[in-house]
Structure 1
Amino acid sequence: MFRIKLLFVTLVIFPSAQAWIKAGYWYSGSEFPVPDINSALFTHLIFAFAHINSSNYEFSISSSDEGYMSTFTEIVRRKNPSIITLLSTWGGESNSSKFFEMVSTSPRRRSFIESSIKVARQHRFLGLDLFGVVPNMPINMTNLGAFLDEWREAVNSEAKHSNTSPLILTMGARYSPTQNFMTYPIDSIKRNVDWVHLRSYDYYVPLKDNFTGAHAALYDPSSNLNTDYGIKEWIKRGLPANKLVLGLPYHGYAWTLVNPNDNTIGSPAKGRAITADGSMSYKHIMWFCKSYGVKPMFNSTYMTNYMKSGSSWIGFDGVEAVKIKVSYAKNKGLLGYHVFQVPNDDENWILSRAAGGEEEDQKSKQSLLVIVLPTVFVAILLSGTAICCLKRKVIMSRVRGKTASGKRVVYPNLQVLTFNEIKTATDNFACESKLGEGGFGPVYKGKLGDGQESLDTYLFDPMKRLWLDWEKRVQIIEGPKISDFGIARIFPRDESEANTQKIVGTYGYVPPEYVKQGMYSKKYDVYSFGVLLLQIISGKKTSNLYGVDKNLTILEHAYELWRNDNCENFMDPSLDNAATTCKLKRYMQVALLCVQERWEDRPSMLEVSSMLKNETEIVPAPSTPAFSTNQDEDQQKYCSTSHAEVYSANMETNSELMLR
């Protein structure tokens, strides 16, 4: 007897206020045809830019842009009926003095506000945006705050009297809330603006900087000119992460190198290259690469792309950088991203598709389901029994096939070793090669026929460990290639817990949630990395006990030494370099964050990588490690300290941060 289970799908017609934002600026001066915009890749499109009338301070559109603006919303909705359009006003650079004149008095503010709302409604825009204003004199920032208060009040009042939804209010602001000791009116922004478009780009430009720069660096270990720093400053000063929208530049900059052989980020340069100001759209950069047969490179420190041809050097964000930044935005709890500018993408919209990721595929599947489901519903009911029978036969056939073959092939790209190869690599399973016991039995270290050896071979060998100087260990730490870090992906997606007869991973590297509950988490790999990091630093095994009384695991031993500011005693004795002290302490603190008991408290691998590579980034204080016998006692004692020390090779002082 067979039962047919029907799945009823509930469709959400209206997106929530916290839906993921995928916005894009279309600049009228680009002359890119509006009908050619692939609006299906965006949730919001922003018409840029309106200006301020210098005589009456009203919202002003140039006569050449009138035609574009009047049809913009109608045209972009042809490919995406749910697209939301906004109208942006330019308030930066050459227009800044005019803007601050406008906000300086209440009548001028009222003139602009009323006219902006009127024009937006007239041309079917659902929001207004202010772009380019930067922190200025205190009086100007006070006036900006008053302007935002009045703008929001007018928008709400207009919506109430017209019985419509209020217009969206957004602001395009500098990557950081401060400039030259001046700060945006953050409280007013928080009260009145729906979200802020961060201008997280143009940190370095050829017209001002005589060296090649990562103009949209996500991280920068030697400077505060980076997106990660700016976002943390906004949040630190009171603006919630869910009011921040990350900027993705679809342009780059070209420099002329002083020495073509010196062509990394930060190399000496003598001005712009290729274009009048050095700026290049992504499509132009890709055309240049193709024309000159140049392959772009990716820098994992700054999270950006660059390429070099002759004496020309171009820095930009490609697909890799865009994907990483979108992932970063999601991990940080940001509201979404905006692209600047939409027309700069290539003809296949490769950057916009990369930024959209799997969400576009999921949206297409849901749309297809809505269309197909009513049509085939009756057919499914009539043929249900036959389908179930056929499915059962197929499943039974697969089960018999797997049983006969004796193995389950799920990941064909994994390297497969024969028994003889393993036997040779482990010296016939010699006792000296045994590392410990796993769920399936003993775990051995070995050397493959192509010369590859496990890291343990070097860490725990009294002679070979001398080959691993501090520089080599840092390279291993910051560029791990350890097979256990893929453990979480070995489980099939439809399994919610682990089979206790199928222990996966190496003894000592398995997190507590797996050992105690048979559950695997997305922070499984983070825990394993933390254990490995402590081993690389100390040269100690997970199977031994340490401390004065020889009763502490490697995790407990590391935590006790770190807590007592005695990290030097944890370092591998074969390493004797005082210059490594600061980095050692930082590595230990990051490792201890990775091996905390609760998987929710562990950082993501992206955050781990950032903390390891960026010596100026604040590292939180860890709680007692997993499997600790003194868990409760240590936690109670240490929580009273309420601060975390941050170590940097470039700093002689310690910073403080409240425990997360």
Structure 2
Amino acid sequence: MSILSLIFLFMIFLSLQWKTSTSQTWIKAGYWYAGSENPMPNINSALFTHLICAFAYIDPSTHELVLKASDEPYISSFSSSVRKGNPSVKPLLSIWTQNGKFGNVGNSSNFLVMTQTPTYRKTFIESSIKMARAYGFEGLDLYVATLLNTKGNMTSLGNLFNEWRVAADQEKLILTVGVRYSPDLDSMSYPVDSVSKNFDWVHIRSYDYHTPMTDNFTGAHSALYDPSSHMNTDYGVNEWIKSGLPASKLVLGLAYHGYAWTLVDPKDNSIGGAPAKGPAITPDGSISYDYIRNHMRSYKINSLYNSTYVINYCTIYSFWIGFDDVEAIKNKVVYAKKMGLRGYSVWQLPNDHNWELSKAAAQEDNYRGHHKRIFVIALCTTAFFILLIGCIISNMRKRIISKVKQVMVMMMTLMNSGKSSYHNQQVISFADIREATNSFSEENKLGEGGYGPVYKVLSSSVYKY
């Protein structure tokens, strides 16, 4: 095998390895809620692969998608705005499925009714694709994280997902879905097989496990682990995988908000379980990461990090606040990599005005991805040089064997000539031949004939008369 052939094979091998290591895009997604206090933030889109605009709503009477009048100007310009900072970013439009046109908190009974009628499903699908195309979105996201809280018939969901996938493929649109942290709740379950088959990936809502509106005690609302409860991200991820959804389709939710409780005992600063008497600071206790950091700086206090739950918390007077800081975000990205997940998605972007958390997540991803690529290249290069050295040694060995054979042929020819009937021919020893040719020196080589190389004789001692 020639050196050029080896180089060609090496390039093919390296390209295959590179393709394998980068065949699936690591998702770095972020939700932007059009109804947020900052309606059009200057999104640092270079930190993301996909940006999701929320929300479009389903009209309960027509089953078509509609937009809130105040949101429409921002949603209509969302795609062009985020592409200015990153032309390769893919904008998606998220669809709210709870009752009400404008995202009212409630159940999803109207959505389930829509899924049971073929004509309603068709109307919904056609209007969703029409809206996506009209506003320059490259995909659609269905937010059904609260669907399992609804009592209703979910058997038609699979039909909707199947029909939507066919229509989306024709338009070359991405389809994603936002779900609860685990696939089951009481007797209700997501149709996991249909979810796995029809969606490009699944956003897990891995936060809001405990809130001041639902619990009279403090709790880690976005705990990665919780030794005392199943309400944690690791449990939910493993339940989704056990139910049949590949880890490579799961995208981990990251929370850019926290919750504040009013403590019964202001001195109780434990990570969870401290008696509380409702929310603090805001009506429902929810606080953006930016507000938490500014509040902590104002009071000159630092947060505590708990490695068991993977969460930060602090106490300000009688308020207990739980949230994710840079360290928690990095550890959750590491967890997603370790579990073989598809990536992460953020709720929501305006809560990280200085992009402190987003940079932490993206840098962790770049660091690990960079080292993975270096490892693949180093492995391929080492394999190539081992193969190259092996071929060189093999070629040298063949040449040496060939020369030895040529010498042996010459010796046998000379020895056989001693047996000739011509009386004036004689047998010449190998030692005499070696002496006469100066150990078969290249300088004494005259050329090559049919029986091998021909040498000039230096000594007359080989001639014996």
TM-score normalised per structure 2: 0.72
Task: Answer yes or no: is 1:340 the counterpart of 2:347.
Answer: yes
Query: 2:25 pairs with 16, 19, 30, which one?
Result: 19
Alpha carbons 1:35, 1:75 under 8 Å: kept = no
Whole-Å Cα distance in 1 between the matches of residues 227 and 87 of structure 2?
44
Equivalence map 1:581-600=2 (5 Å): none
1:82 aligns with 88
Equivalence map 1:641-660=2 (5 Å): none
How far 1:94 moved relative to its partner? 2.5
| Unmatched runs of 5 consecutive residues or more in structure 1 | 1-7, 160-165, 365-495, 497-660
1:618 aligns with none
1:28 aligns with 34
Task: Answer yes or no: is 1:211 the counterpart of 2:223.
Answer: no
The verdict on how the C-alpha distance between 1:136 and 1:215 changes in structure 2, with shifts beyond 3 A counting, is: closer
Q: Give per-residue Cα distances to partners, 1:64-87, cap 9 Å, x unaligned.
A: 122112111111011100000100
TM-score normalised per structure 1: 0.51
Task: Answer yes or no: is 1:134 the counterpart of 2:147.
Answer: yes
The amino acid across from 1:249 in the alignment is A
1:149 aligns with 162
2:112 aligns with 100
Q: How many residues align?
A: 354
Task: Answer yes or no: is 1:270 the counterpart of 2:292.
Answer: no
The verdict on how the C-alpha distance between 1:303 and 1:118 changes in structure 2, with shifts beyond 3 A counting, is: same
Whole-Å Cα distance in 2 between the matches of residues 233 and 282 of structure 1?
29
The amino acid across from 1:130 in the alignment is L
Query: 1:187 pairs with 182, 193, 197, which one?
Result: 193
Of Structure 1 and Structure 2, which has the larger fraction of its residues in strand?
2
Query: 1:197 pairs with 194, 203, 215, which one?
Result: 203
Secondary structure of 2:268's counterpart equals coil
Equivalence map 1:402-421=2 (5 Å): none
How far 1:35 moved relative to its partner? 5.5
Query: 1:258 pairs with 251, 258, 264, which one?
Result: 264
2:178 aligns with 172
Alpha carbons 2:258, 2:286 under 8 Å: kept = yes
| RMSD of aligned residue pairs (Cα, Å) | 2.7
Query: 1:38 pairs with 44, 51, 55, which one?
Result: 44
Q: Give per-residue Cα distances to partners, 1:558-591, cap 9 Å, x unaligned.
A: xxxxxxxxxxxxxxxxxxxxxxxxxxxxxxxxxx
Secondary structure of 1:36's counterpart equals coil
1:162 aligns with none
1:115 aligns with 127
How far 1:134 moved relative to its partner? 2.2
Q: Give per-residue Cα distances to partners, 1:498-537, cap 9 Å, x unaligned.
A: xxxxxxxxxxxxxxxxxxxxxxxxxxxxxxxxxxxxxxxx
Percent sequence identity over aligned pairs: 57
Q: Which has the higher contact order (CA 8 A, sep 6+)?
A: 2
Equivalence map 1:482-521=2 (5 Å): none
Whole-Å Cα distance in 1 between the matches of residues 225 and 46 of structure 2?
31
Secondary structure of 2:147's counterpart equals coil
Equivalence map 1:457-472=2 (5 Å): none
Of 64-73 and 107-116, the range deviating more from structure 2: 64-73
Query: 2:358 pairs with 342, 348, 352, which one?
Result: 352
Whole-Å Cα distance in 1 between the matches of residues 84 and 335 of structure 2?
32
The amino acid across from 2:351 in the alignment is N
The verdict on how the C-alpha distance between 1:142 and 1:111 changes in structure 2, with shifts beyond 3 A counting, is: same
How far 1:328 moved relative to its partner? 0.3
1:59 aligns with 65
How far 1:363 moved relative to its partner? 9.6
Whole-Å Cα distance in 2 between the matches of residues 45 and 61 of structure 1?
18
The amino acid across from 1:311 in the alignment is S
How far 1:133 moved relative to its partner? 4.1
- Which entry has the higher C-alpha Rg, 1 or 2? 2
Whole-Å Cα distance in 2 between the matches of residues 122 and 95 of structure 1?
29
How far 1:117 moved relative to its partner? 0.5
Query: 1:47 pairs with 43, 49, 53, which one?
Result: 53
Query: 1:229 pairs with 225, 232, 235, which one?
Result: 235
Equivalence map 1:370-449=2 (5 Å): none
| Unmatched runs of 5 consecutive residues or more in structure 2 | 1-10, 99-104, 371-381, 383-465
Alpha carbons 1:273, 1:312 under 8 Å: kept = yes
The amino acid across from 1:225 in the alignment is M
Secondary structure of 2:292's counterpart equals helix
Whole-Å Cα distance in 2 between the matches of residues 291 and 144 of structure 1?
49
Query: 1:327 pairs with 327, 330, 334, which one?
Result: 334
Equivalence map 1:560-639=2 (5 Å): none
Alpha carbons 1:41, 1:360 under 8 Å: kept = no
The amino acid across from 2:147 in the alignment is V
Task: Answer yes or no: is 1:316 the counterpart of 2:328.
Answer: no
